[in-house]
Amino acid sequence: MDVTFVLYPNMTALDFVGPYDVLASMPGVSPRFVAATLGPVKSDNGLSVVPTDTFDTLKSTDIVVVPGSSHWRELLKDSGGIVEWLREVHPTTKWTTSVCTGSTLLAEAGLVSKATTHWAAREDLEVRGVEVSTDRVVFDGKVVSGAGVSAGIDMALRLVEAEFGEMAAQAVQVGIEYDPQPPRDYDSIPDSVAQGLKAAFESRQA
């Protein structure tokens, strides 16, 4: 089973590294990394990844994983060929998935009707005609979206369950010791802090 991770400049590293660690641990899974060229691609925090394929050479895959970026609005203006490639490869996939703001690219490609995303990008998803969910993982037919960043691990575990069964998903979860116990309850963050964070995110789009 080929699992293809989409790479592009300023992607968020954990958006694809989390799902990669989960999915690549399964027998028979062959990870691939696709980008516009075969040159190293640098994430928004400086991690460089070397693609195995390009949008011109890879025309089919079993699973696609589209990571998000803190520069998602800039990416929506010029995706560097990602949107066109997604439209082309989507008919060949068993699952087309996204993490964080990656769902806005699926929406731009016209591939999803209901999805989740990072909380700062919900409006960008909604204006593209998508029903926005606040759930951590959303299935919309064969399109699966995960919410912000770390939710990519949850999304990948759900894919493992769908493809390999509940016991396999449990084994992977135990193997990576995925048992989130954050120091802060998400719902306890003051509105003033949340608004400040949103403003910081939006300032990157200028």
In contact, 153 and 22? CB cutoff 8 Å: yes
In the predicted model, is pLDDT for residue 41 greater than 90? yes
Helix %, strand %, coil % of the chain (to 5): 40, 20, 40
For 129, the domain range is 2-203
Mean pLDDT value of segment 124-152: 97
CATH of the domain at 85: 3.40.50.880
Sorted by sequence, the CB contacts under 8 Å of residue 162 that are 6+ apart come out as 95
Tally of domains within the chain: 1
Q: What is the reported pLDDT for 187?
A: 61
In the predicted model, is pLDDT for residue 58 greater than 70? yes
pTM (2 d.p.): 0.91
Q: What is the reported pLDDT for 136?
A: 96
87 is catalytic: no
The catalytically annotated residue of 14, 100, 115, 153 is 100
